[in-house]
Structure 1
Amino acid sequence: MIKDDSQDKITIQEHLQELRKRLICSIIVFIIVLMPCYFFSSNIYNILLIPLKKSLDYSQIRDISLIYTDITEVFFVYLKVSILTAIMIAMPFFLWQIYAFIAPGLYKQEKKVFVPYLILTPFLFGFGVFMVYQYIFPIAWQFFLHTSHKSNTLLEIEFMPSVSEYLDLVVQLMIAFGLAFQLPIFLSLSVQFKIISVSFLESKRRLAIVIIFVLASILTPPDVFSQITLAIPMIILYEASILLCKYVHNKKK
C-alpha cells in the first residue's frame, strides 16, 4: 500500500511538472508572437478601421477623427490589439499543448476523435472573425450611421468615435462570432460522447432558437440589429451541426 501511495504521489508530481513545462512553453511562444504584433499594432488597428472608413465614405460623412480622452488610452489600445492578435495567432499552439497534456489519459479511439477538432476549432473561430469583419461590420456600421445621421433632434448630432470604444465594440463582436462558430464542434462532441443524441437536437429546435437569441443578446452590444446578425448565423450553424452529427453517427455504423 505504501508503495502504491508513493507511486501515486510521483505520478501527480510528474503531471504537475508536465503542466508547468506546457505553461512555460505557451508563455514563451506567446511573448515571441507578441513582440512583432506590438510592432505592427497600429497597422492592425488600421485594418480594423477599414470597414468603418468604407461605411463613412458610403454614407458621405466627411472629416471624422478618432478621439481619445486619456493620455494613456492609445498606448493601451495598441497593447490590447497586439495581445489579442498574438492570442489568435498562437491559438493552434495553445490547443496543441492542452491536447498533449491530456492525451496520455485518453484511449486511442478518444485521441482519434479529438485530433480533427484541434484543427477545426481555430479554423472555425478564424472563419467567424472573418465573416463578421468582411460582411457584418460593413452592414452594421452603415445601419448605425444611417440611423444616427437621419435622426431628428433640436441640436446637431456629431459622430466622434473613441479609439478604445471602437476597439471594444469590434473585439466584442469578433469574439461573439468566433465563439458562435464553435457550435458545430460543441454539439458534435456532445453527440459523440453520448451526452445528447441527434434526435434530441432535432426535437429541441424551438428551444434551441430561444436559447440562441438569449446568448446573442448576452454576447453582442445591447441592440436588436447586432443580436439578429449573430442569432441568424447561429441558427444556420445549429442546423449544420445536426447534419454533421448525422454524418458522424452514420459513419460509426
Structure 2
Amino acid sequence: MSEANSLISHLIELRSRILKALLSVLIVFLCLAYFAQDLYQWLAKPLLDALPDNSSMIATDVASPFFAPFKLTLVLSFFIAIPYVLYQVWAFVAPGLYRNEKRLVAPLLFSSTLLFYTGMAFAYFVVFPLAFAFFTSVAPAGVTVATDISSYLNFVLKLFFAFGVSFEIPIAIILMCWTGVTDAKSLRAKRPYVVVGAFIIGMLLTPPDVISQTLLAVPMWILFEVGVIIGGLYANRNDDEAEDDASRPTV
C-alpha cells in the first residue's frame, strides 16, 4: 500500500510540475501576444534586408498574416520559458539524485540553456544574413524572389532548432564521459569520423547550400572539441576523488 501511495504522490507531483511548466509558457505568450506583428517583422529582417528593392514577402494563404505571427510568438514563448521548464524538471528529479549527481546536473541544466540560446543567436546573426544573401543572389534572371511568410517561418524555426540542438554537443559529451559510456581518449580517436559526421548532419539539417552546411558543421566540430576537453577534465577529477575515497582508512 505504501508503494502505491508513493507512486500516486509521484504522479501528482509530475502533473503539478507539467502544469507549472505549461502555465509559464502561457504567461509568456500572453505577455508577447500584443507584440506578435513586431516579433515577426524582427524575425523577417535578415531576409528583408537581402531581398532586391522590388521584392517583398507575400502571404499565399488568407489566414497567414494572422496565424504566422502568433505561431512565432507561441514558439518564442516556449524558448523564453525554457529555464523555468528545466527548473521544474530539476525539481522533480533532484530528490532521487545523489549529492555528486546534483553538483553535476544543476550546472548542466544552466549550461544547456545558455548553449541553446547561443545556437539560436548564432543562426540569426551569422547564418541568416549569409544564407539569405546567397539565396537571393542566385535567383535566375527574370525571377522575382517573394517568400511566403508561413514558409519562411517554418524554415527559420527549423534552423533555430537545428543550431540550438547542435550547440548542446558539449553537454552530451560530458554526460557520456560522466556515465562511463565513453571517455575523452576514445572520442579523440574518433575525431575524423566526427568531422565527417558533422558535415553530414549539416547537410541534412540545413538548406542545400555550402554556406549553411559549413556554418553548422564547423561550430559542431569546435563544440565537440570543447566537450572532449571538459569531459576529460571531469573524468580525471572523478578518478582522483575515487582514489581519495579508496585511500581513506575505514573505521
What one-letter code is carried by the residue in structure 2 that aligns with 1:246? G
Q: Which residue of 2 aligns with 1:49?
A: 44
Q: Which residue of 2 aligns with 1:3?
A: none
What is the SS of the residue equivalent to 2:61?
coil
Kindly indicate whether the alpha-carbon contact (under 8 Å) linking 2:117 and 2:164 is maintained by their aligned counterparts in 1.
yes
Q: Which residue of 2 aligns with 1:206?
A: 192
Deviations for 1:112-146, whole angstroms, at most 9, x for unmatched residues?
11000111111100011111111111111111111
Alignment of 1:182 with 2:168, yes or no, is yes
Percent identity over paired residues: 33
Deviation at residue 53 of structure 1 after TM alignment: 2.6
Aligned pairs (5 A) from 1:90-129: 90-129=81-120
Gaps of at least 5 residues in structure 2 are: 241-251
Alpha-carbon distance in 2 for matches of 1:123, 1:157: 41
4+ aligned runs moved over 3 Å, structure 1:
222-225
What one-letter code is carried by the residue in structure 1 that aligns with 2:17? R
Deviation at residue 209 of structure 1 after TM alignment: 1.9
Gaps of at least 5 residues in structure 1 are: 1-5
Alpha-carbon distance in 2 for matches of 1:38, 1:217: 35
Q: Which of 115, 123, 128 is 1:132 aligned to?
A: 123
Q: Which residue of 1 aligns with 2:237?
A: 251
- In the superposition, the TM-score normalised over structure 2's length comes to 0.90
Alpha-carbon distance in 2 for matches of 1:197, 1:146: 45
Which deviates more, 186-195 or 242-251? 242-251
Q: Which residue of 2 aligns with 1:25?
A: 20
- In the superposition, the TM-score normalised over structure 1's length comes to 0.90
Alpha-carbon distance in 1 for matches of 2:133, 2:78: 30
Alignment of 1:219 with 2:237, yes or no, is no
What one-letter code is carried by the residue in structure 1 that aligns with 2:76? T
Q: Which residue of 2 aligns with 1:77?
A: 68
Alpha-carbon distance in 1 for matches of 2:196, 2:107: 30
Deviation at residue 104 of structure 1 after TM alignment: 1.3
Deviation at residue 210 of structure 1 after TM alignment: 2.5
What one-letter code is carried by the residue in structure 1 that aligns with 2:155? L
Q: Which of 157, 164, 178 is 2:143 aligned to?
A: 157
Alpha-carbon distance in 1 for matches of 2:57, 2:178: 49
Deviations for 1:147-168, whole angstroms, at most 9, x for unmatched residues?
11xx35xxx1111111111111
Task: Indicate the RMSD between aligned Cα atoms, in angstroms.
Answer: 1.4
Deviation at residue 176 of structure 1 after TM alignment: 0.7
Deviations for 1:79-121, whole angstroms, at most 9, x for unmatched residues?
2111111001100001010111111111111111100011111
Deviations for 1:192-234, whole angstroms, at most 9, x for unmatched residues?
1111111111011122123222322332234443222211111
Deviations for 1:30-72, whole angstroms, at most 9, x for unmatched residues?
111111222111111111122223323xxxx203221111111
